[in-house]
């Protein structure tokens, strides 16, 4: 589903002028569902119940993800993409839960236990559903997380400086950050002036207007509009910030009222 969001504004200015006890013990547990991962640190839990008349220990294997270890486990998603996570014995998530002596969980008798999961921040992965299966000596449980398409955008101001009736140029940088493999388009609005269009933009000084244009190339020949018909800019996210340059130009020969002229352009990212 396409999502259209107004995400940033660009200001333009010009100044005119347990295995050992397995025989008598059982473990039941729930799945660990992290929910939606948006790139920020995310915690999840799974709850278990031990029924036992003696001492027990519960080791936890590395899971099914390729290259997973007992300390860095991996959920698998679309096309084999992986999302790393960890499982701990304590709510503070400082004691790793492993599969060897000294890293497993020990206890005696009946008990309620919790598996504490955590997905670290800053992982740029393909959107989709990620799963893993962890096993103990007596049972296993699934681990799932969902990564949604997402984009963020920022923009710098464009300042033309003093216009002296000769051609004036300036630039702005739009920075788009999208989840890995997410395709997007960036459109620029017509601005705030009455009668302005995406091909004939206007800065204002009261009722006075100063014509200018916004372009996607350094030769000021490809207009940057707000729909495919008027040349929006497209790209594919890789999880990192991707800068896009907006090239502004004020045509020569405009004899306008001296003063400061401004406009505000809305940056629309569709993904």
Say if residue 129 is in the same domain as residue 190.
no
- Are residues 169 and 123 part of one domain? no
Sorting pLDDT into bands at 50, 70 and 90, what band is 44?
very high
Residues 234 and 173 in one domain: yes
Structural domain boundaries, residue 43: 20-147
Q: Tell me which of 115, 147, 179 is where a domain ends.
A: 147
Residue 157 falls within a domain, yes or no?
no
Please say if the pLDDT value at position 13 is more than 70: no
Residues 136 and 200 in one domain: no
207 — phi, psi (to 5°)?
Answer: -85, -10
The reply to whether 67 falls in a domain is: yes
97 is a domain residue: yes
Determine, yes or no, domain membership for 154.
Answer: no
Does residue 17 surpass a pLDDT of 50? Answer: no
pLDDT at position 12 over 90:
no
Is 141 found in the same domain as 59?
A: yes
Domain membership of residue 152 (yes or no) is no
Q: Which of 119, 147, 175 is where one domain is finished?
A: 147
Q: What is the pLDDT of residue 227?
A: 87
Per-residue pLDDT at 8 exceeds 60: no
249 within a domain of the structure (yes/no): yes
DSSP state letters, 50-108 = EE-SSEEEE-----SSTT--SSSEEEE-GGG-EEEEEEESSTTS-SB--SSTTTSEEEE
Mean pLDDT value across residues 85-104: 95
**pLDDT greater than 90 at residue 110:** yes
pLDDT cut 90: percent of the chain above it? 82
Q: Spell out the residues 6+ positions from residue 26 whose beta carbon is closer than 8 angstroms to its own.
A: 50, 51, 52, 138, 139
- Residue 108's pLDDT is what? 92
Is 131 found in the same domain as 65? Answer: yes
Give the pLDDT of residue 101.
84
d(CA 248, CA 11): 12
Q: Give 172's Cβ-side CA count (13 Å radius).
A: 27
Q: Is 37 in the same domain as 9? A: no
Domain count, the chain: 2
> Is 6 a residue whose pLDDT tops 70?
no
Least confident of 21-30, 137-146, 235-244, 254-263: 21-30
Mean pLDDT of the residues in the chain: 90
Report pTM: 0.79
Same domain, 223 and 264: yes
Q: What is the C-alpha separation between 101 and 106, in angstroms, rounded?
A: 10
Give yes or no: residues 197 and 214 share one domain.
Answer: yes
Do 139 and 205 reside in the same domain of the chain? Answer: no
Final residue before a domain boundary, out of 147, 182, 216? 147
pLDDT of residue 187: 96
Average pLDDT over residues 228-251: 93
Residues 143 and 28 in one domain: yes
Higher pLDDT, 139 or 93: 93
**H or E element in which residue 14 lies:** strand 4-15
CATH number at residue 193: 2.60.40.1090
- CATH number of the domain that 116 lies in? 2.60.40.3480
State in Å, rounded, how far the first CA of the chain is from the last one. 8
Query: Do 126 and 61 belong together in one domain?
Result: yes
As given in the structure block, the two tokens for residue 20 are 């050992």
**Does residue 168 fall inside a structural domain?**
yes
Can you give the pLDDT at residue 131?
97
**Encoding tokens for residue 222?**
């490809």
CB burial of 81-92 (b: ≥16 within 10 Å; e: otherwise) equals: bbbbbbbbbeee
30 — pLDDT class (breaks 50, 70, 90): very high
For residue 156, being part of any structural domain is answered with no
pLDDT category at 230 given cuts 50, 70, 90 is confident
On the question of pLDDT at 21 being above 90, the answer is no
């Amino acid at each position: 589903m396409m999502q259209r969001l107004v995400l940033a504004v660009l200001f333009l200015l010009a100044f005119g002028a347990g295995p050992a006890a397995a025989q008598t013990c059982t473990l039941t547990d729930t799945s660990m569902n992290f929910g939606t991962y948006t790139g920020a640190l995310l915690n999840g839990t799974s709850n278990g119940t031990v029924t036992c008349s003696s001492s027990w220990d519960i080791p936890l294997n590395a899971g099914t993800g390729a290259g997973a270890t007992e300390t860095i486990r991996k959920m698998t998603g679309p096309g084999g993409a992986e999302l790393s996570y960890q499982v701990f014995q304590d709510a503070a998530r400082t004691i790793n839960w492993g599969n060897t002596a000294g890293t497993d969980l020990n206890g005696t008798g009946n008990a309620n236990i919790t598996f504490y999961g955590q997905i670290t921040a800053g992982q740029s992965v393909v959107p989709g559903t990620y799963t893993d299966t962890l096993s103990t000596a007596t049972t296993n449980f699934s681990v799932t997380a969902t990564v949604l398409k997402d984009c963020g955008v920022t923009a710098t101001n464009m300042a033309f400086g003093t216009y002296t009736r000769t051609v004036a140029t300036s630039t702005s940088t739009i920075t788009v950050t999208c989840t890995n493999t997410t395709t997007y388009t960036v459109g620029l609005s017509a601005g705030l002036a009455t009668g302005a269009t995406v091909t004939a933009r206007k800065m204002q000084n009261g009722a006075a207007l100063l014509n200018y244009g916004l372009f996607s190339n350094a030769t000021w020949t490809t207009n940057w509009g707000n729909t495919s018909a008027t040349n929006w800019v497209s790209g594919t996210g890789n999880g990192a910030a991707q800068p896009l340059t907006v090239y502004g130009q004020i045509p020569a020969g405009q004899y306008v009222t001296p003063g400061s002229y401004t406009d505000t352009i809305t940056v629309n990212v569709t993904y």
